[in-house]
């Protein structure tokens, strides 16, 4: 490995992954972080498009994907690999604006897209996390979100390391293991996605007393219903819940603390100030206060582009002025607080009226017994598209139960016209709901 090389990682969280993570950076190489959930075809695509010279992965992944000459992440094999090396700084520090690390997100072409960041953007992400999540050397952080994912790695694991905080690395999310870690190690901070908060407070092993020493949970990665956070607040009264809005492409750019949530319960918060933030109703035209537009960012937290995908990169930076277009529709109020409306590409047009799935999902997720849901459009000869919903429940429930709960909270045209119950929502390796699969399955 030499400075400028590209090294791919494939595996679950482990101490070995963490060592290699910083070792590659210290050698001046760039890293590609692939999900262990990717198919062999997806892995091959990412390795080829990223021109990876070396692959560091778990033995099982190497066998499944047919990879040869890999560096093992398994504990005994990895220990043998690094045996005899010392801790001398290799002295390979390069310019901070060169490619450094890429995490993968869902792609519209059918393959994951890798957003490449520089050392500068990674350090800016860490600065924001220190400032807004108050990460200090005294912190004891649970790291269960994948280190190779933007949220788990760049928003959580790396800022913790930069702050010299203690980090308890868990191989993945498991409620019982997390509760044990809080009791055993005195965890003081954890990053969770909303679905994990729901799993935590609904789990039979949940014990408020056992978690009473947990003062902070940062959450993000998906919209969180007000009802869920209010329930979690009530069940963990000594814990502060801090919302983070961000993306693989743009970093942690908007945060919402408790006092703002009390005043603006449906908001995602204020911009952090480390990047420029604007809402455009059209390219070059900023939306007025209260007007819906696409949320855009410009500044040092943004990626350089998608690896090996100039077309998608050009689409993301479509105006050529440095603005990254998120695809999220949003609105800003007179106090500068931002609220999300939905995804522009997910919009349902029914009888000429725009329906944003998030508007319906916010209502559905508050219904007792609904664990997860996803709203999507289905073609209809009369009205163009009709809103449908796929629901994962925690117990028996009927379509009539859902429609009755929506009746007084949604106008008629936004009420689901099709209700489907499924065991699990289809998701990408990055954890994003695949609405196109739901449309194909139920259309």
Specify the pLDDT at position 276.
94
Average pLDDT score over residue span 67-91: 75
Q: Are 246 and 221 in contact (CB under 8 A)?
A: no
Q: Are 365 and 227 in contact (CB under 8 A)?
A: yes
Residue 215, SS3 per DSSP: coil
Specify the pLDDT at position 430.
67
In the 3-class helix/strand/coil scheme, how is 62-79 assigned residue by residue? HHHHCCCCCEECCHHHHH
In the chain, where the domains are located: 347-442
> Among the ranges 206-210, 369-373, 382-386, which has the highest mean pLDDT value?
369-373
Q: Are 256 and 229 in contact (CB under 8 A)?
A: no
Specify the pLDDT at position 330.
94
Specify the pLDDT at position 107.
59
| 192-201, 302-311, 411-420, 427-436: segment of lowest average pLDDT | 427-436
Token pair 């007792």 is at which residue? Answer: 368
Closest CA to 72 of 89, 55, 50: 55
Tokens representing 173 are 């999310």
Specify the pLDDT at position 142.
96
Higher model confidence: residue 384 or residue 15? 15
Specify the pLDDT at position 93.
66
Higher model confidence: residue 87 or residue 36? 36
Average pLDDT score over residue span 71-83: 77
Average pLDDT score over residue span 53-82: 82
pLDDT at 42 over 90: no
Q: Are 380 and 386 in contact (CB under 8 A)?
A: yes
Percentage of the chain beyond pLDDT 70 is 96
**CB proximity list for 214: less than 8 A, separation 6 or greater:** 182, 187, 188, 189, 190, 236, 238, 239
Tens digit of each residue's pLDDT (9 = 90 or more) over 248-299:
999 888 887 777 888 887 789 999 888 999 999 999 999 999 999 999 999 9
Q: Where are the alpha helices (DSSP H) in 169-292?
A: 175-185, 194-202, 226-235, 258-263
Across the chain, mean pLDDT equals 89
Specify the pLDDT at position 109.
57
Q: Are 329 and 341 in contact (CB under 8 A)?
A: yes
Tens digit of each residue's pLDDT (9 = 90 or more) over 84-134:
676 776 666 667 888 999 998 865 556 788 999 999 999 999 999 998 999
- The residues facing 6 across adjacent strands are 30
Specify the pLDDT at position 91.
63
Q: Which band of pLDDT confidence, cut at 50, 70 and 90, is reported for residue 392?
A: very high
Average pLDDT score over residue span 210-229: 86
Specify the pLDDT at position 14.
93
Question: How far separated are the first and last CA of the chain, in Å rounded?
Answer: 49
- The residues facing 56 across adjacent strands are 9, 71
pTM of the model: 0.79
Alpha carbons 400 and 373: distance in angstroms, whole number: 16
Fold of 347-442: GMP Synthetase; Chain A, domain 3 (3.30.300)
Q: Return the C-alpha torsion angle 159, 163, 166, 172, nearest 10.
A: 0
Average pLDDT score over residue span 12-38: 90
Q: Which band of pLDDT confidence, cut at 50, 70 and 90, is reported for residue 32?
A: very high
């Amino acid at each position: 490995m030499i400075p400028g090389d590209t090294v791919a990682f494939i595996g679950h969280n482990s101490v070995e992954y963490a060592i290699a993570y910083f070792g590659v950076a210290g050698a001046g190489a760039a890293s590609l972080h692939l999900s262990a959930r990717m198919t062999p075809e997806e892995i091959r695509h990412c390795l080829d498009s990223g021109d990876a010279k070396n692959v560091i992965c778990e033995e099982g992944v190497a066998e499944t994907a047919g990879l040869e000459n890999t560096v093992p992440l398994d504990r005994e094999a990895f220990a043998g690999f690094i045996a005899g090396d010392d801790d001398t700084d290799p002295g390979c520090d390069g310019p901070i604006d060169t490619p450094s690390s890429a995490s993968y997100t869902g792609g519209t072409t059918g393959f994951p897209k890798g957003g490449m960041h520089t050392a500068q953007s990674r350090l800016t992400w860490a600065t924001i996390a220190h400032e807004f999540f108050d990460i200090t050397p005294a912190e004891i952080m649970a790291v269960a979100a994948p280190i190779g994912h933007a949220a788990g790695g760049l928003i959580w694991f790396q800022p913790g390391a930069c702050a010299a905080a203690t980090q308890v690395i868990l191989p993945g999310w498991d409620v019982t293991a997390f509760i044990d870690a809080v009791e055993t190690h005195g965890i003081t901070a954890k990053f969770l996605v909303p679905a994990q908060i729901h799993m935590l407070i609904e789990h039979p092993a949940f014990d408020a007393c056992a978690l009473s020493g947990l003062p902070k949970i940062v959450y993000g990665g998906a919209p969180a219903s007000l009802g869920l956070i209010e329930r979690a607040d009530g069940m963990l009264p000594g814990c502060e819940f801090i919302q983070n809005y961000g993306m693989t492409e743009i970093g942690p750019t908007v945060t919402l603390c408790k006092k703002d949530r009390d005043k603006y319960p449906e908001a995602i918060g204020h911009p952090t100030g480390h990047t420029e933030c604007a809402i455009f109703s059209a390219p070059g035209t900023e939306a007025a206060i209260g007007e819906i537009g696409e949320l855009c960012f410009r500044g040092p937290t943004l990626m350089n582009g998608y690896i090996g995908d100039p077309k998608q990169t050009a689409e993301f930076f479509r105006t050529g002025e440095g603005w990254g277009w998120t695809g999220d529709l949003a609105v800003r109020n007179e106090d500068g607080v931002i609220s999300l409306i939905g995804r522009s590409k997910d919009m349902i047009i029914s009888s000429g009226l725009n329906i944003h799935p998030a508007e319906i999902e916010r209502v559905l997720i508050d219904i007792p017994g609904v664990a997860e849901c996803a709203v999507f459009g289905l073609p209809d000869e009369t009205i163009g598209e009709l809103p449908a919903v796929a629901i994962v429940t925690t117990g028996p429930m009927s379509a009539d139960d859902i429609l009755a709960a929506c009746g007084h909270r949604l106008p008629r045209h936004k009420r689901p016209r099709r209700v489907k119950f499924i065991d699990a929502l289809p998701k990408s390796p990055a954890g994003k709901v695949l609405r196109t699969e739901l449309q194909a399955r139920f259309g």
